[in-house]
């Protein structure tokens, strides 16, 4: 019997994917509908589905696991649906309207492009905390860390007493300039604990200086509030998953994927770092696969039920965005750069009643009610319905036959809601909707690459997600790549990526740090001492956190970084430093060279501005402990012609205006070295891989399909 070693989970907006990896590198995939009300239910069903392919019981599978890593949407859903904790907030007096005013861009984040252009449609977000629970405290520390106004401790006591009477479930503290000097926040937290002890009531306290001590005041506040508001409820989701696994024999602790590309324990004090993790897993998995295959430049594309996500791996690494926008919030949350649009297979198709113009999304039918063909009384057709109508998806083999799709119902609703409105044949309409969304994805992919100063011909393209293999041939059409690949485990590739990450804590701290042009050796040595002092401070936090989690200090690997820019510019780049101890001027020169090399790749050599000098805005320490990784087994290549055992049938597909016969193959029965000529469809219980006419695909020794024209 196989011994399951690693479990990866990706609870997406529509489906929950599970991937199991055994000691030999064998993989199996499970899928089930996501259950937002209690993600442990969807996980359990997905886990069972995966185990059934290896004929392993739930108890045997759970007890042999050495690691289980989760990525999902529980915290994001809590934020989107405004179902978080009751939070009290202490801010510097005069700043009580932070959440009402918010960042101007938050009034249009998440809007489609036409609405972004018209200010009349911009609307402020409802504050996560009502004004009555936000209390101003007299205090002030300036941007250099000096105390200008002492902390009015009596105001802190009065505020905490009031908030406890209001029955808040946690208290957040965010003072101006606390990222430079946290003394007032720490003092306020201590006073709050004294008041709680006296009142006989203890609730969590979150300070912005301990969560993420960086500038950008509103974004730092958002991160601190979301930790208090949404992270605690999501911990209950994660605890339910872990408890269910423990009851079945799992002996370890559940881990979660973070936005910066590492994994941490679900009990981490900075759980908001896992607010978005699903799309990140795919990029980490692509980097790992690229390392095995020797590929440095990869465009990662993930198409699921709700979105199309694109990320770039350039020269073996990925970019970090220090201030992304999520759920219409700007956050101080270092996150792997991922550009997303609402273009999944659940994307709703609408017709403007006046202009008869087609609109795709960005709304999605999600897992509930799902596509019309699910039979769950969905009102609007979506892309999955079109895939079923045109014959791309086999309605009798969805999730391996576990779900029977209702093609006739999809035909009826698409005809009424779309085809009759635009006066087109029903099949031409369905094919047109697929073509339209594939064009949107291709344009988005191309724009993202060009916008970063690169060309697609410099990259390999990787397509994954439940729907990625189905549409990759057309969303890559007309663009030049070094190669186009589809992993055979594409439907759970993001879950796979979670298993490829190391256990990592990331610490950021803002600073004012300028390297003047032509700086001499003593100046560089002095600046090196400043950096060394900050990295030493961050290292002490690292050691404490890792040892509290059961790791040994000698296991920790430290990777220091700086966020730098030319003095006077606005956008900083994250570059590696040679060591956490900067004692020689040459080490500062090494950092400068790393910055300039990256700058000319991201922008252009002609844009460099050496005469301005350099400014470092943040010090970063990535602290890592290596984890057990999946083994990508290399299998022996077989003959190019697939065995007849892998052939299923021939099915008509509506393709480019007419019905064409497509050969269908069973993915799991194809062998390394096999070549499938188009037109063909390769089916898997969790996905469908389309090989158009004039294309073919080759399965390599690592079980990766290469799509060729």
| Mean pLDDT of the region 72-90 | 84
What domains, with CATH codes, occur in the chain?
4-78+234-274 (3.30.420.40), 86-168+170-203 (no CATH), 279-343+438-498 (3.30.420.260), 347-436 (no CATH), 504-625 (3.30.1490), 644-708 (no CATH)
> What pLDDT is recorded for position 615?
93
More confident: 209 or 115: 209
Distance CA 219, CA 197 (A): 31
Higher local confidence (pLDDT), 50 or 706: 706
Q: What mean pLDDT comes out for the span 41-61?
A: 89
Provide the pairing of β-strand 147-149 with 557-566: unpaired
Identify which has the larger pLDDT, 227 or 134: 134
Q: Is the pLDDT confidence value at 389 over 90?
A: yes
Q: What is the mean pLDDT of the chain?
A: 90
**Cα dihedral 664/667/670/672 (nearest 10):** 130
What token pair was written down for 99? 């959440």
Region 574-594: mean pLDDT is: 93
Above pLDDT 90, what percent of the chain? 58
E strand segments, 111-260: 134-137, 140-141, 147-149, 170-174, 205-207, 255-257
For residue 149, name the pLDDT band (cuts at 50, 70, 90).
Answer: very high
Specify burial of residue 666 (Cβ count, 10 A radius: 0-12, 13-18, 19+): middle
Whether the predicted pLDDT of 1 surpasses 70: no
- ∠ CA(389), CA(393), CA(398), 5° rounding? 120
pTM: 0.88
Residue with tokens 């001499």: 520
The structure tokens listed for 142 are: 């300036």
CA 449 to each of CA 299, 318, 339, 445, 684: distance values in angstroms, whole numbers, following the listed order: 8, 13, 11, 6, 31
Give the C-alpha separation, 221 to 533, whole Å: 26
Q: Is the per-residue pLDDT at 120 higher than 90?
A: no
* Inter-residue contact 382 to 349 (CB < 8 Å): yes
pLDDT at 310 over 80: yes
Average pLDDT rounded to a whole number, residues 132-155: 95
Mapping DSSP to helix (H, G, I), strand (E, B) and coil, where does residue 19 land?
strand
Cα 21–27–33 angle (5° rounding)? Answer: 95
Identify which has the larger pLDDT, 319 or 201. Answer: 201
326-361: pLDDT as tens digits? 888 888 888 998 888 888 898 999 998 888 889 887
DSSP state of 306: S
Give Cβ neighbours of residue 404 (< 8 Å, ≥ 6 apart).
395, 396, 398
Q: 7 burial class (0-12, 13-18, 19+ CB within 10 angstroms)?
A: buried
Task: Please give the average per-residue pLDDT across 606-628, as a whole number.
Answer: 90
Helix then strand then coil, in percent of the chain rounded to 5, is 40, 25, 35
Predicted confidence (pLDDT) at residue 114 exceeds the cutoff of 80: no
With a pLDDT cut of 70, the percent of the chain lying above it is: 99
Q: Is the pLDDT of residue 571 over 90?
A: no
pLDDT digits (tens, 9 = 90+) for 255-302: 999 989 999 988 887 888 888 777 899 999 999 999 999 999 999 999
For position 38, what pLDDT does the model report?
Answer: 77
Tell me: pLDDT of 413 over 90: yes
What pLDDT, on a 0 to 100 scale, did the predictor assign at position 441?
A: 94
Question: What mean pLDDT comes out for the span 219-244?
Answer: 87
Calculate mean pLDDT across residues 433-451: 93
Q: What number is the average pLDDT over the span 696-707?
A: 97
């Amino acid at each position: 019997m196989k011994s399951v070693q690693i479990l990866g989970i990706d609870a997406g907006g529509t489906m929950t994917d599970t991937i199991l990896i055994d000691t030999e590198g064998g993989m199996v995939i499970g899928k089930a509908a996501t259950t937002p009300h209690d993600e442990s239910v969807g996980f359990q069903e997905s886990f069972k589905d995966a185990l059934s392919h290896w004929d392993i019981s739930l108890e045997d599978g759970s007890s042999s696991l050495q690691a289980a890593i989760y990525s999902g949407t529980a915290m994001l859903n809590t934020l989107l649906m405004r179902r978080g904790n009751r939070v009290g907030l202490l801010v510097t007096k005069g700043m009580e309207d932070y959440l009402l005013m918010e960042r101007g861009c938050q009034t249009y984040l998440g809007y489609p492009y036409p609405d972004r252009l018209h200010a009349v449609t911009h609307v402020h977000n409802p504050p996560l905390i009502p004004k009555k629970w936000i209390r101003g405290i007299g205090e002030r520390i300036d941007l250099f860390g000096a105390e200008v106004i002492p902390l009015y401790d009596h105001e802190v006591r009065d505020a905490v007493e009031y908030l406890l009477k209001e029955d808040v479930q946690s208290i957040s503290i965010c003072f101006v300039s606390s990222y430079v000097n946290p003394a007032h926040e720490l003092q306020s937290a201590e006073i709050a604990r004294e008041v709680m002890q006296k009142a006989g009531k203890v609730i969590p306290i979150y300070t912005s200086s301990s969560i993420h001590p960086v500038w950008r005041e509103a974004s730092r506040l958002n991160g601190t509030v979301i930790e208090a508001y949404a992270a605690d409820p999501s911990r209950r989701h994660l605890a339910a998953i872990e408890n269910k696994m423990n009851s079945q024999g799992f002996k370890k602790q559940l881990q979660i994927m973070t936005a910066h590309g590492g994994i941490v324990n679900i009990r981490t004090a900075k759980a908001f770092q896992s607010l978005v993790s699903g799309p990140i897993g795919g990029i980490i998995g692509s980097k790992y696969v690229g390392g095995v295959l020797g590929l440095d430049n990869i465009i990662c594309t993930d198409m699921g039920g709700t979105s199309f996500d694109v990320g770039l791996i350039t020269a073996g690494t990925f970019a970090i965005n220090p201030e992304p926008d999520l759920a219409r919030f700007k956050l101080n949350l270092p996150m792997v750069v991922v550009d997303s649009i609402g273009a999944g297979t659940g994307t709703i198709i609408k017709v403007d009643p006046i202009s008869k113009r087609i609109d795709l999304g960005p709304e999605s039918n999600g897992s509930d009610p799902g596509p019309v063909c699910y039979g769950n009384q969905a009102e609007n057709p979506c892309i999955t319905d079109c895939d079923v109508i045109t014959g791309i998806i086999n309605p009798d083999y969805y999730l391996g036959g576990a779900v029977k799709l209702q093609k006739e119902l999809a035909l009826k609703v698409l005809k009424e809601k779309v085809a009759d409105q635009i006066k087109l044949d029903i099949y031409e309409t369905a094919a047109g909707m697929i073509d339209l969304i594939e064009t949107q994805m291709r344009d988005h992919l191309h724009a993202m690459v060009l916008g970063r100063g690169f060309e697609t011909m410099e990259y390999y393209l990787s397509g994954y997600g439940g729907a990625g293999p189905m549409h990759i041939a057309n969303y890559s059409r007309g663009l030049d790549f070094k190669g186009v690949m589809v992993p055979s485990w594409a439907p759970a590739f993001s879950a796979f990526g979670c298993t490829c990450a190391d256990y990592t804590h990331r610490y950021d701290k803002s600073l004012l740090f300028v390297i003047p042009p032509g700086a001499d050796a003593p100046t560089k040595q002095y600046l090196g001492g400043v950096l060394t002092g900050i990295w030493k401070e961050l290292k002490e936090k690292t050691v404490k956190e890792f040892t509290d989690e059961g790791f040994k200090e000698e296991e920790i690997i430290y990777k220091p970084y700086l966020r730098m820019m030319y003095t006077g510019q606005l956008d900083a780049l994250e570059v590696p430093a040679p060591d956490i101890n900067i004692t020689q001027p040459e080490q500062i020169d090494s950092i400068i060279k790393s910055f300039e090399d990256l700058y000319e790749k991201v922008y252009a050599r002609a844009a460099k501005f050496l005469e301005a000098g350099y400014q470092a805005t943040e010090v970063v320490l990535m602290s890592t402990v290596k984890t057990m990784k999946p083994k990508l087994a290399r299998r022996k290549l077989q003959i190019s012609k697939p065995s007849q055992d892998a052939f299923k049938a021939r099915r008509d597909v509506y393709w480019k205006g007419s019905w064409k016969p497509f050969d269908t193959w069973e993915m799991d029965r194809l062998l390394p070295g096999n070549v499938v000529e188009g037109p063909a469809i390769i089916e898997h219980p969790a996905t469908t891989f389309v090989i158009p006419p004039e294309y073919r695909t080759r399965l390599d020794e690592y079980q990766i399909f290469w799509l060729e024209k």
